[in-house]
Chain A
Amino acid sequence: MPKVTLLLDSAAIAGALKQIAAEILNQHAGGAFSLVGIQKGGVVLAERLALLLRQADQAPVIVGHLDVSMHRDDLNHRAAPEIHPTLIPGDINGKTIILVDDVLFKGRTTRAALDALNDFGRPQCIQLAVLVDRGHRELPIHPNFVGKTIQTSVNDTVDVRLTESNREEGVYLITP
């Protein structure tokens, strides 16, 4: 039987997002940035971050949605992934983009996201915000904003369950 451990409950998720929002505002005082959530979990988190940022700063935050399926490097080794909509509002040339994802693991999704974003323009700066960093990077990718860093084994699964996906909210570590 796999062992399931609760890492973050809904209050802890909210706290982690609040802390990320504060750090983002601290670094980007003028609010001159856009959030781009990576489908699917990252999109939900980007929308929640945008709400927190709006409440703190009164300024509206642009949120984009990015699906990286067409840019993955493992398409030969897996069944074709389900594709969700990509929606990049406005011109990203010269802007600051903060990519938002739920879990940072090997870094391959982030690499695919950088490539996918490249088709839309050349931002001045791309940063990365993640709810959970679970280590085991296979690429030179480092997050700028982290909700929680956890120790995992490479075969573990980190399951981010969000109410928007009709699940009881929580982040779980599943050990096989």
Chain B
Amino acid sequence: MTWHRKHLLDIETLSREEVLTVLNTAKAFKAVGERAIKKVPALRGKTVINLFVEPSTRTRISFELAAQRLTADIINFSAELSSLRKGETLKDTARNLEALNADIIIIRHSAAGAPHFLSRVLNASVVNAGDGAHEHPTQALLDAFTMREKKGSFEGLNVTILGDILYSRVARSNIWALTKLGAKVTLCGPPTLVPSAFERMGCQVCHQVEPALRQADVINLLRIQHERQRKGMFPSLGEYTSLFGLTKARMKLTKPDVLIMHPGPINRGVEIDSDIADSDHSVILEQVTNGLAVRMAVLFLINGGHPQELGVN
């Protein structure tokens, strides 16, 4: 399977084979990270720009290091210090960056569809690093990579995504990726944060935490997003923890080899008990390591020539 896409905008439009191509390529890049010399010249002479209009630390750093390990030059552009604050449009900002001969623009934006828009107005390759509540493709790819590495296969794998799903781009991208790969996805959380409409994406919705935990081979926890509008969605963080938090008591219900995942940043004592976050079941830090490999793979793949590229994406 070869890769012909110029951009990585979402998981929804990727084929199962394309998802697997990223995972297989990432495996090779993970091995590079384990060598004494962790750098390869695959993107030598290329310029990558991190255009982060919405704040982020871990994703930005991960992309930054990924680009550096591929020998690309990378510039970080953050909204707080930028001309976007002075009234410049996203299109003008991006065109200015492209005028610096940027080859790849990695964008995080609070508006869903911003990366798709840029891919239509720029010649550079565009990578979606999270757009509003829409998608966060590299997070889903690194989650899938970690699950495959630990569990071997997606066939019949029960994955429970627990928490604040309504506005979660991580959940959406995970659902697309995991259902394409053959896993069974269950969403769990309070009805206000996990509407039944998600069933249309091919997963189950469960508002009771116990059965969702009991059947899970993998539990992917999502943070309660304080910074988004949460008034009225549930009474208090304390009540959320008592009803849906992964506590020691609930951990006893899970399978003995259950995998605990979290995209970070974790809120200890809210969605996850502190000891569980540090337990042998937790692969939260391995997700960070794998994220670097997956982002190297994505940059490597979209940097290839695109002779058979069709249309916009």
CB contact under 8 A between A76 and B305, given known A83-B25, A85-B28, A85-B31:
yes
In the assembled complex, which residues on chain A have CB atoms less than 8 Å from the CB atom of B308? Answer: 79
The reply to whether A75 and B28 contact each other, CB–CB distance below 8 Å, is no
Report the nearest A residue to B28, measured CB to CB: A83
The reply to whether B306 and A86 contact each other, CB–CB distance below 8 Å, is no
Report the nearest B residue to A84, measured CB to CB: B28
The reply to whether A75 and B4 contact each other, CB–CB distance below 8 Å, is no
**Is B40 part of the binding interface, using a Cβ–Cβ cutoff of 8 Å?**
yes
The reply to whether B24 and A80 contact each other, CB–CB distance below 8 Å, is no
The reply to whether B2 and A86 contact each other, CB–CB distance below 8 Å, is no
**CA separation between A72 and B42, bound complex, in Å?**
7
The reply to whether A78 and B304 contact each other, CB–CB distance below 8 Å, is yes
In the assembled complex, which residues on chain B have CB atoms less than 8 Å from the CB atom of A69? Answer: 28, 42
**Is B3 part of the binding interface, using a Cβ–Cβ cutoff of 8 Å?**
yes
CB contact under 8 A between A78 and B31, given known A70-B300, A71-B40:
no
Q: Number of B residues contacting the other chain (C-beta, 8 Å)?
A: 27
The reply to whether B300 and A80 contact each other, CB–CB distance below 8 Å, is yes
The reply to whether B1 and A70 contact each other, CB–CB distance below 8 Å, is no
A67, A119, A120 pick with most chain B CB within 10 angstroms:
A119
**CA separation between A165 and B169, bound complex, in Å?**
41
**CA separation between A134 and B13, bound complex, in Å?**
42
Chain B: minimal CB distance from A119 (Å) = 4
In the assembled complex, which residues on chain A have CB atoms less than 8 Å from the CB atom of B41? Answer: 70-71, 115
CB contact under 8 A between A86 and B31, given known A79-B3, A80-B3:
yes
Q: Number of A residues contacting the other chain (C-beta, 8 Å)?
A: 21
Within 8 A of B (CB), among A66-101: 67, 69-72, 75-86
**CA separation between A86 and B40, bound complex, in Å?**
13
The reply to whether B304 and A79 contact each other, CB–CB distance below 8 Å, is yes
**Is B37 part of the binding interface, using a Cβ–Cβ cutoff of 8 Å?**
yes
**Is B301 part of the binding interface, using a Cβ–Cβ cutoff of 8 Å?**
yes
CB contact under 8 A between A79 and B1, given known A67-B28, A71-B42, A85-B31:
no
Query: In the complex, given contacts A71-B40, A80-B304, A120-B36, what are 13 additional A-B residue pairs having Cβ atoms less than 8 angstroms apart?
Result: A70-B40, A72-B42, A75-B42, A75-B303, A79-B305, A79-B306, A79-B308, A80-B302, A82-B2, A83-B24, A84-B28, A115-B41, A119-B37
Can you give 7 contacting A-B residue pairs, CB < 8 Å?
A69-B42, A71-B42, A80-B3, A80-B302, A82-B1, A116-B40, A119-B35
